[in-house]
Structure formats: C-alpha cells, structure tokens
Chains A and B, each alone.
Chain A
C-alpha cells in the first residue's frame, strides 16, 4: 500500500528584489566583476520549492586604519598589510577569496583617529584601485561625521555602484541623496526591530530612493548574543517579502565579524578559560557557525573577518546551493 505524502510546497506570490553591486567599465565603473544578490522566490535553500538564483556572498572587512582592537587570532593573517588598506583588500581577494570588500571607515570616528573626509576618500580609492571586486563602504557610526564623510567618499567612488551604509530611521536623507547622485546602493539599518526595519525602507522610498536599491541590515548578534532575536526577525521579513510586502522584499546583510570578534568566546585565550579549547581554532569556528545560522535565516551578504571562517562559510554556501565542497 502506498502512503500519499501530501505536497506541502508553497507557491509564494512575490519575489525578493535582486540587487547588483559593482559596475564594470562597460557600466560606468572600474570593477572587474559584479555581484548580484537576492531574487529568491522561496525561503533560504528551499530548492525543492522555488528558486534561489543568486547564492549568498561573503565580503571581507578592511579598515582605513590598522585594526588595533581586533584580537590577535584575526589580526595575524593580515599582519603585513594592516597599515595599507589597498594591500589588505588585495590579500582578502587574492589570497582568501573575498567576493566583495567591505571598507569600514573606522578611522573617521571623532572619538578615535577622527580622520578627515578626504583621508577616507583616499582610503576608498586605494581599495578600489587595489581590487576589482565590488565594494561595500561602511561609515564610522557617528551620524554627524558620516554625513560629512560620505559626500566625499560617494563622489570619489562615483559610478562604482557600491553598497553604502548605513541609513537609519533618524539619518537617511544624506545617503539617499548621495546614492541617487553617484549611483550607489544603500544598506538600511534597524536595531533588531522589525517595525523599524520596515519604516526605514518606507522613509527612503518617500524621498525617492528606489526600494530595488536597498539591502536590509536588521542588526547582527553573535552566536550566544541575541542571534535568535535577529534570526526570527529575518525570517519574518523574508516571509512577509515573499507574501508580497514590497517594502521588506529586499536582500539582507549580516555584519558577522565585528560582532563575533568582540565576544569572549572568540577571543579569550585558553589559559583564561580552561576547557574551551585552542582560541585559534575556536574563534574562526565561532565566526563560521554564526555565519551559517544567518545563512539559514536568509542572509544574502555576510561581512566576515577571519580567512578560515570565510573558507568554511563559502564551502557551506556551495554545499547548501547543491554544489560540492
């Protein structure tokens, strides 16, 4: 006797926006490759149900100043290049397989090195000249300073179709104008809050920035540090998007490295926490595990730091997309 297994496949009415980052010379930029994310018609890796035309991608993080507060484990692979953003980016792409570079303008922080907009733009140009992959540029996080820095940086990278971030509910007018003027995509940030995630997208739309050019950053928590809250928000956003809520039907981004490499599980040496194992293996594993969880929640872009975590995550993506290791 044959038991009929009911067909539980869903046919979602809406498709997640596909967003292309980077522009080649034919498209008005100088990138040698571009990356397209999103375009899903189903939940993450539900290949039996719908299509996931673009695989999630891994961006590696580069700073405009030497990353002194990074733990040794994750500084070590970049020891020779930390003082040179161009060389650092080149190592990420050529040695470690980064698919995009995320330049974080940490040096502009007024409570830190307080570097000028011109210095930030110079670092951005350095990275753009050193590598051909698409670029993400992330501000220092101080709204006032970012609003001074981005006009110069966005212009310096004009036509490169970068992904710039972030816009928030309280600070979106400068970047939306710059994105439109210089041809860049934007990251819309919200503080682990699905309502605000939706609101910031509507605000951007209301000042004329097309929702097709937005990537959602719902905040990121490291494994053990609120990951499950973000996970459930990402799931709800993705389900709403697939059901037809156009203002949340965007690809999603997770900022993995910065979160993981600030927690003790990734950086405390074994002599401080006996029984936790070698920190040099533990840290990258923590980063890769966090990344994997977010892939399953629907992440389309992961920003990461450690080369070994990047390698494992890219292999995981390849397997989840149905390819081999």
Chain B
C-alpha cells in the first residue's frame, strides 16, 4: 500500500502559519511523525494559503531537510508543482496531480517525465467532478493513455477516482468503488489507484469509522494507495488487516508490527 501522508498541507492552520512566518518547526514535526508512522510519500501542499510558487519550494525544502522520505508535490497550479519539483534534492517524488483536461495533461506530464516522478491523475476534467462511473473511467483512462504515451509505465501511474464526502454525496460512494474496480482492468499490471481518503469523512460524526470502512471496501476493489492521516493507528491497522485478507502479506500474530516494520516506520 502506498501511504501518502496528508498532513503537510496549508489547509491545516499550523502549516499555513509556518508558510506565512517561514518557521519550519511544524513542518518538521509532521515530516518526522508521518515518516515514523510509515508514510511512503509525504504530501506537500500550499493550498489556498499562498499563490507564490516560491512558497511551495520553501515547503518542499523544509520537509526534505527533516526526513529522507519521498515527497508528493501537490498543487492544482502548474507553476507551484514545477517550483516544488525544482526544489527537490533528487529523491523519489510524485507529481500530484494532473486532471484529464488536455491543456493540463500536456503541461504536467512532461514535468513528471523530466523529474522521473510518479504521476497522480485525477479522474476529473474541465467539466468538474465526475458524477457517475463512466465519466470517472473515461477520465482515468485518458490520463493513463497520455502518461503511457509519454513513456510512464503503469506502475508509475496513480489514478484517483475522486472520493466525495458521504454526508453530501452519498450516491457517489458506490460509483467510486465501481470505478476503482474498472481502473484495475486498464492494463496488466494495472496502475495504482488512490483516493483522498479523508474527504469521505468530511463533517461526519463517525469520521473514523466511515473512513476505515470505506478504506477496506475500496482495497477489496483494488485500491492500493491513499492520501490519508497516516498517523491514525486505526487506519494503519485497517490497511495491515486488509492486506492480510487479500493475501498480500504472510500472516503472523504480530502482523500489524510486521506491517509497520515493512513500511519503514518506527521498528
């Protein structure tokens, strides 16, 4: 499972503040905590806190000074992605993200190729978020084909079917599950499939349960990556348990420990 730690995001006050004051303390704290929890990638996102690509470069630098963990450069703005990638010290990275919008594909994919990055593609287009299975699969396939044509192999592509809050768009959850399964048929080996996991629990009272139940259902359909709260022990335990159910890991009584050791977190 590719676990992308969501916490270095200016949507959180401490990170927004760090960007504003250029004090890296909070960034370092979350870089270390998420790495110790077993994050495969650390998502780095300046969100709406800044329009300045230089702030993305600063946030990437602050993160990579703290830990050796691979970085997911996350922005809807191409200039910010580029600035983030340029600031990297050569470590593994993920471009997060492109959409199926042709104008975006033709700019973002070359950046991923240039920096030898994994590419995360959202199954949305210039018409906005998809409201059914077909649109998700159509958009996902469009990103997938464009990336393949640029020479990015399936195992370096991550597709995101766009997960929405269950409280507001309940009817979309089955559509996301179905799209995940259809993504797995795109190629052999299939691309990776990720969601922004916390979205589903937005403003939900039983947030933890909603998130974890969706997570294991989606893993059964083929989800093998997630942008999520990697510091939540119950989420990690759910991933470890689901991987056992899928026979991806050898059972042992201490399998959650084994999962953490494998994820490279605190041994």
**Chain A residues in the interface with B (C-beta under 8 A):** 194-196, 198-199, 202-203, 205-206, 236-237, 240, 244-248
Contact = CB atoms under 8 A, between A and B. Distances in A.
B258 interface: yes
A165 B113 CA distance: 51
21 contacts: A195-B251, A195-B253, A196-B252, A198-B251, A198-B252, A199-B252, A199-B254, A202-B254, A202-B257, A202-B258, A202-B261, A205-B261, A206-B254, A206-B257, A236-B250, A240-B249, A245-B249, A245-B258, A245-B262, A246-B262, A247-B258
Nearest to A249: B262
Given A198-B258, A206-B257, A247-B262, 11 more contacts: A198-B250, A198-B252, A199-B252, A199-B253, A202-B258, A206-B254, A245-B258, A246-B262, A247-B258, A247-B261, A248-B250
A240 B257 contact: no
A25 B74 CA distance: 55
B148 interface: no
A195 B251 CA distance: 5
A170 B31 CA distance: 38
Contacts of B257: 202, 206
B267 interface: yes
Nearest to B264: A246
B152 to A, nearest CB: 17
Mostly helix, strand, loop or mixed at chain B's interface? loop
A29 B249 CA distance: 39
Nearest to B249: A245
Interface of B: 249-254, 257-258, 261-262, 267
A196 B250 CA distance: 10
A240 B250 contact: yes
A194 B250 contact: yes
B262 A203 contact: no
A195 B267 CA distance: 19
B243 to A, nearest CB: 11
A203 B254 contact: yes
A245 B251 CA distance: 11
B156 to A, nearest CB: 14
A323 B203 CA distance: 67
Contacts of A199: 252-254
Contact of B262 (A196, A206, A237, A244): A244
Contacts of A247: 252, 258, 261-262
Contacts of B262: 244-247
A198 to B, nearest CB: 4
Contacts of B250: 194-195, 198, 236-237, 240, 245, 248
A246 B260 CA distance: 10
Contacts of B258: 198, 202, 245, 247
Contacts of A245: 249-250, 258, 262
Contacts of B261: 202, 205, 246-247
Contacts of A202: 252, 254, 257-258, 261
A89 B195 CA distance: 62
Contacts of A248: 250
Q: Which of A195, A198, A237 has most chain B Cβ within 10 Å? A: A198
Nearest to B267: A205
Contacts of B267: 205
A6 to B, nearest CB: 12
A203 B267 CA distance: 12
B244 to A, nearest CB: 10
B264 to A, nearest CB: 8
Nearest to A240: B250
Nearest to B255: A198
A246 B259 CA distance: 9
B224 to A, nearest CB: 14
Contacts of B252: 195-196, 198-199, 202, 247
A248 B261 CA distance: 11
A194 B262 CA distance: 17
Contacts of A206: 254, 257
A176 to B, nearest CB: 15
B241 to A, nearest CB: 15
A248 B252 CA distance: 11
A123 B257 CA distance: 40
A240 B251 CA distance: 11
Nearest to A233: B250
Nearest to B248: A243
A245 B253 CA distance: 15
Nearest to A245: B262
A151 B122 CA distance: 60
A194 B251 CA distance: 8
Contacts of A195: 250-253
